[in-house]
């Protein structure tokens, strides 16, 4: 999606990813031999150095990159490539315990959290401090809830440690939120921030399922408060680009930050069809020092629905796509991933409508057509 936005502005993009037909490489053919994509892992220092030799600006669309080599590139005299967001920002964010500590230290609202060791005693001490249930989380390499374990009783301590074995851990107090919200924030190279409207995100089995834009709430000020919380957090970080800020809304109106993504985010996919400038276009503009596009909605109501693999077969996804293509206001995005797997994000659809009621009417057949995992 970033490559698609770049192609509209004649911006050359060199992709580092495994395989010659990795999804982003399917979008942009190199214009010159010097701009050939790199075949390798975003965690491989040598491949990252190779990429750095080819480009003016490096950016990430996943935070689990080798940040040590990014810091090395940043501090090497004479290196042409600048890195956005800053490697120090990526480093703080990729360790969720460091991230929470950073946010707390910088006055951003987060719920209670505590470091946990890989021992039963530590799990018991955590339960005594946070109460039950609590959320045990891997500090690193987490996504789509893979790395989370809800500890409901002390009997589960062994199971939790086994599930998250060999991973550095921390725990969070259980947050009984009434809604999850997200705000995409764009940070310029000058450190100015501007945000997209607050949206409601709905998770199923820890994976983002649905996004509704804009956020609807009985309290009309919640949305702007969420934008201020998100903007203040991103203002404290270094480097340019788009950041996704996930938040919890409590019954009494309190907002906590759950976590930050230092890149365009799933909860901002709706911006492609629903906002004047998408998160991808604004990410590019921000990291290249170009004027930003408007972050406002250009439709009254929008939703995003993730297409999650139900098995190794693409057939249910093709069937869903056929249904989606017949619905007015619906745009399908399939990601070109080579393999379908249960629980894997294979694409998404965006719906736009003139009213919330029309949106719900259009959403219903889509929800019924989603691939369902066989049990």
In whole angstroms, the minimum distance from the beta carbon of 185 to Mg ion comes to: 15
Residues 216-255 that bind Mg ion (CB under 5 A): 246
In whole angstroms, the minimum distance from the beta carbon of 188 to ligand ATP comes to: 25
Q: Which does 271 bind (CB under 5 to 8 A by kind): Mg ion, ligand ATP, none?
A: none
Q: How far apart are CA 189 and CA 256, in angstroms?
A: 27
Per DSSP, the residues of 9-63 read TT-----EESSTT-GGGGT---SSGGGPPEES-TT-HHHHHHHHHH-SEE--SSS
In whole angstroms, the minimum distance from the beta carbon of 246 to Mg ion comes to: 5
Helical residues (DSSP H) of the chain, grouped into ranges? 2-8, 45-54, 67-75, 87-94, 96-105, 120-130, 157-163, 222-235, 271-274, 279-287, 315-325, 356-369
What the block records as the tokens of 223 is 């949305």
Give the number of other Cβ atoms within 10 Å of residue 41's Cβ: 15
Q: Which is nearer to Mg ion, 213 or 330 (CB)?
A: 213
Is residue 116 within 8 A of residue 136, CB to CB? The reply is yes
Q: Which does 79 bind (CB under 5 to 8 A by kind): Mg ion, ligand ATP, none?
A: none
Chain residues that interact with ligand ATP, rule: CB under 6 A: 135, 137, 142-145, 147-148, 172, 174-175, 180, 203, 206, 246, 258-259
Q: Which is nearer to ligand ATP, 204 or 298 (CB)?
A: 204
What the block records as the tokens of 224 is 């702007």
In whole angstroms, the minimum distance from the beta carbon of 84 to ligand ATP comes to: 20
Is residue 207 within 8 A of residue 246, CB to CB? The reply is no
Q: Which among 181, 171, 33, 62 has a CA at the least distance from the CA of 114?
A: 171
Q: Which is nearer to Mg ion, 172 or 246 (CB)?
A: 246
Q: Which is nearer to ligand ATP, 14 or 346 (CB)?
A: 346
Q: Which does 362 bind (CB under 5 to 8 A by kind): ligand ATP, Mg ion, none?
A: none
In whole angstroms, the minimum distance from the beta carbon of 275 to Mg ion comes to: 21
Q: Which is nearer to ligand ATP, 8 or 178 (CB)?
A: 178
Tell me the CB-side half-sphere exposure of residue 313, using CA atoms within 13 A: 9
Sequence-ordered list of residues with C-beta below 8 angstroms from that of 96, at least 6 positions apart, any chain: 137, 138, 139, 140, 142, 170, 259
Q: Which is nearer to Mg ion, 152 or 203 (CB)?
A: 203
Residues 251-310 that bind Mg ion (CB under 5 A): 259
In whole angstroms, the minimum distance from the beta carbon of 260 to ligand ATP comes to: 10
In whole angstroms, the minimum distance from the beta carbon of 250 to ligand ATP comes to: 11
Q: Which does 310 bind (CB under 5 to 8 A by kind): Mg ion, ligand ATP, none?
A: none
Q: Which does 281 bind (CB under 5 to 8 A by kind): ligand ATP, Mg ion, none?
A: none
Q: Which is nearer to ligand ATP, 136 or 277 (CB)?
A: 136
Give the residue carrying structure tokens 């599930």: 163
Q: Which residues form the interface with Mg ion (CB under 5 A)?
A: 246, 259
């Amino acid at each position: 999606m970033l490559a698609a936005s770049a192609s509209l502005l004649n911006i050359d993009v060199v992709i580092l990813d495994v395989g010659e037909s990795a999804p982003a490489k399917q979008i942009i053919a190199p214009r010159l031999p010097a701009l050939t994509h790199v075949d390798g892992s975003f965690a491989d220092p040598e491949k990252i150095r190779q990429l750095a030799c080819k480009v003016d600006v490096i950016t990430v669309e996943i935070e689990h990159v080798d940040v040590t080599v990014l810091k090395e590139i940043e501090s090497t005299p004479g290196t042409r490539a600048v890195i956005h967001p800053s490697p120090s920002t990526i480093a703080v964010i990729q360790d969720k315990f460091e991230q929470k500590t950073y946010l707390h230290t910088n006055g951003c609202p987060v719920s209670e959290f505590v470091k946990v060791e890989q021992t039963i005693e530590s799990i018991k001490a955590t339960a005594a401090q946070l109460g039950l249930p609590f959320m045990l989380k891997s500090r690193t390499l987490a996504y789509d809830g893979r790395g989370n374990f809800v500890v409901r009783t002390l009997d589960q301590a062994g199971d939790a440690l086994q599930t998250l074995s060999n991973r550095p851990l921390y725990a969070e107090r259980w947050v009984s939120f009434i809604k999850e919200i997200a705000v995409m924030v764009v940070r310029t190279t000058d450190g100015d921030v501007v945000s997209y409207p607050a949206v409601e995100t709905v998770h199923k089995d820890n994976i983002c399922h649905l996004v509704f834009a804009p956020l609807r709430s009985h309290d009309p000020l919640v949305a702007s408060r969420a934008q201020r919380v998100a903007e203040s957090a991103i203002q404290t970080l270094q480097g340019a680009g788009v950041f996704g800020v996930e938040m919890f809304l409590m019954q009494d109106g309190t907002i906590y930050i759950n976590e930050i993504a230092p890149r365009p985010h799933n909860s901002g996919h709706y911006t492609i069809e629903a906002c004047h400038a998408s998160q991808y276009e604004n990410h590019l503009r921000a990291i290249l020092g170009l004027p930003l596009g408007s972050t406002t909605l250009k439709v009254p109501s929008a939703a995003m629905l993730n297409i999650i693999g139900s098995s190794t077969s693409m057939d249910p996804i093709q069937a869903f796509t056929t249904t989606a293509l017949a619905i007015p206001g619906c745009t399908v995005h399939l990601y070109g991933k080579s393999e379908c797997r249960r629980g894997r994000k294979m694409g998404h659809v965006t719906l736009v409508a003139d009213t919330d009621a029309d949106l719900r009417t259009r959403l219903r057949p889509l929800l019924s057509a989603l691939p369902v995992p066989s049990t």
